Structure 1
Amino acid sequence: MERINTKKLYKETVVKDSLFQTLKQEILNDPANRETINLIKSYDVEEDMAVLMMIEIAQLNDDKDLDYLGGFS
C-alpha cells in the first residue's frame, strides 16, 4: 500500500482553497454574477455551491470540444 504524503496533500488543499476563495470574491464582486448567485441561492443552494455551479457552467461553455446539443448551443 502506498504511503500518503499528508504534507503534500495539505499544501495542495490550501492552494486549491485559496484559488477558490479568490475566484469566489471576483465572481461576487461583479453585479451580474451576484444576481445569478442570488438566483441560484433562492433554490436553497449554499453560496459556495452556487459559485461552483457557475464555474462549472463557464468551463462547459469554454470547452469547444463538448457539443452535447449537436450544434444547437
Structure 2
Amino acid sequence: MATQKKSKASKFLTVPTRPIPVDRDRSVAGLLEKMEGAGFGAKQLAEAHRIWLDMLDDNATIYLCGSGNLIP
C-alpha cells in the first residue's frame, strides 16, 4: 500500500515549484515569464503567454471557433 502511494506521489512531485521573486520588474510580460515555475494556474497562464507570443512571431492566422448551436 505504501509503495502505491509513493508511486502516485512521485508522478506529481518530479519538478519543484519556484516562488515568484518580488523585484522592480513591473511589466506584465516579465511577471508572466516568472510564473512559469510556479504552481497551480500560474504555470498554465505562463504557458498560454508563451504560446501566444510564438503565434505572433510566426505570423500565424488565429481562428476563433465555436461548437454547438449558435442560434438559441
Instruction: Calculate the TM-score normalised by the size of structure 1.
Output: 0.33
Between Structure 1 and Structure 2, whose CA radius of gyration is higher?
Answer: 2
Higher helix share: 1
